[in-house]
Structure 1
């Protein structure tokens, strides 16, 4: 019998969820099957899965098995917007353009937000979201590629990082700030707005089981209104 601890098994299962082996909402193998695969006691698997359940990564139901949480809808206190859906809800045609995609060490403020050691590389992405070929929103984002290595191979010219992450990567907690800011030069140029114009921004950082996934700012063109439900 293996000497793997439940902490080791828990991390191994988490890694498989993060890399997309099991999709959001998908039923994962049962305790007996996982115990056989990892060569450990079933009680070890039980403790590992319970730890992931406590972190909000999976949902366990008696006689119903264990499923990866469908996080963006069921667990998030704020329903993360998919910009494509927002544009299409207006009756407009959606398109996006990736204007920056580079792996490098982020500035100190971003490094701290993502909990990274100095010099650790992350993926920097800038994306312009268009509605009928007019700028609708401008997204600046950093992704912790140690937590989400699969994003390096994601077809981000075909699907925006915003939508790919919402569809693919679970999260268990996050921090969201809503505010208005005066558009700096880069934001103004991306949105086709005048520099200094007041624009609405969503500033968000998400994490999974204590490891930060991404931090981003989503700037909307002038006149945007956020609608939500109580």
Structure 2
């Protein structure tokens, strides 16, 4: 009889609390755990993902999974849909696909996603507006090795983020926040001045260790993003 992911999660948690796997210790890989619990890799992956969300373990691609030296409470993050953000404010949403190009991945993207040199990718730039006013500039790269169907997808009316969420789940996400000074091109699209400080969110998502997408989302000054702990 196969084991449910909750049973695996609870047993792994018990081993960590009982110090069978000490802080900093390496946890057996997913293949070995699948054999031990007689289940699919996706089942073990979900159990491990929940433990990572609890802050008990740390998962790093190609480096394995370890027990955290200090358990950490992590923020709960749901990939936002900009259309829903705008409509929730009572505004009218508009989407414009600015550019689209299938190409070999540049060196910096290969390093960021840890994919082979010149891997095929799809580069998209988009503009999201609220009541006719620029709201977000989206600069997105999609790994065509992981999602070859993206090359033929129609992004003329539906943004790539919504298409991705409907097409493939994600098991891991990394997000960072920062600011940049607008260059003339961004100033043109966002209706601001060159040199203005803008809010930037960068996100990478993957599915079972396969990189899916990297995106930079650039907002007007004063934009806020909220997380729940």
Q: Structure 2 length normalisation: TM-score?
A: 0.68
- Are the aligned partners of 1:203 and 1:218 in contact in 2 as well (CA < 8 Å)? yes
Determine which of 43, 50, 58 is the counterpart of 1:53. 43
2:46 aligned counterpart, secondary structure:
coil
Who is 1:181 aligned against?
A: 180
Give the drift of 1:152: 2.1
- Cα deviation for residue 48 of structure 1 reads 8.8
Q: Distance in 1 between matches of 2:46 and 2:125?
A: 29
SS in 1 for 2:96: strand
Inter-partner Cα distance in structure 2 for 1:117 and 1:171? 21
Aligned partners of 1:118, 1:173: CA distance in 2, in Å? 22
SS in 2 for 1:103: strand
| C-alpha deviation, 1:176, in angstroms | 0.5
Runs of 4+ in 1 over 4 A off after TM superposition: 44-49
Q: When the two structures are aligned, how many residues end up with a matched partner?
A: 171
1:65-144 to structure 2, matched below 5 A, reads: 77-144=76-143
Question: How far apart are 1:202 and its partner, in Å?
Answer: 0.7
2:150 maps to 151
Shift of 1:214: 0.3
Structure 2 Cα separation of the partners of residues 178 and 53 of structure 1: 32
Higher normalized contact order (CA 8 Å, seq sep 6+, divided by chain length)? 1
Distance 2:115 2:165 in 1: 22
3-state SS in 1 of match to 2:227: coil
The range that moved more, 182-191 or 197-206, is 182-191
Assess, with a 3 A threshold, how the Cα gap between structure 1 residues 93 and 109 changes in structure 2: closer, same or farther.
Answer: same
- The answer to whether the Cα contact below 8 Å between 1:82 and 1:166 also exists between their aligned partners in 2 is no
| Structure 1 residue 167, shift from structure 2 partner | 2.5
Structure 2 CA distance, aligned partners of 1:91 and 1:209? 37
What SS is found at the alignment partner of 1:55?
helix
| TM-score, length of structure 1 as denominator length | 0.67
RMSD of aligned Cα (Å): 2.5
Cα offset for 1:53? 1.9
2:180 and 2:41 mapped to 1: Cα distance?
40
CA contact (8 A) 1:201 1:218 kept: yes
Answer yes or no: is the 8 Å Cα contact 2:97–2:125 preserved in 1. yes
Q: Give the gaps of 5 or more residues in structure 2.
A: 1-33, 50-74
Q: Over residues 59-93 of structure 1, what are the superposed CA-to-partner deviations in whole Å (9 max), with x where a residue is unaligned?
A: 9xxxxxxxxxxxxxxxx941111000011011111
Which secondary structure state, in structure 2, belongs to the residue aligned with residue 56 of structure 1? helix
Q: Judging changes above 3 Å, is the alpha-carbon distance between structure 1 residues 46 and 102 closer, same or farther for their aligned structure 2 residues? A: farther
Alpha-carbon separation, structure 2, partners of 1:84 and 1:45: 43
Could you say which residue in structure 1 is the equivalent of 2:11?
none
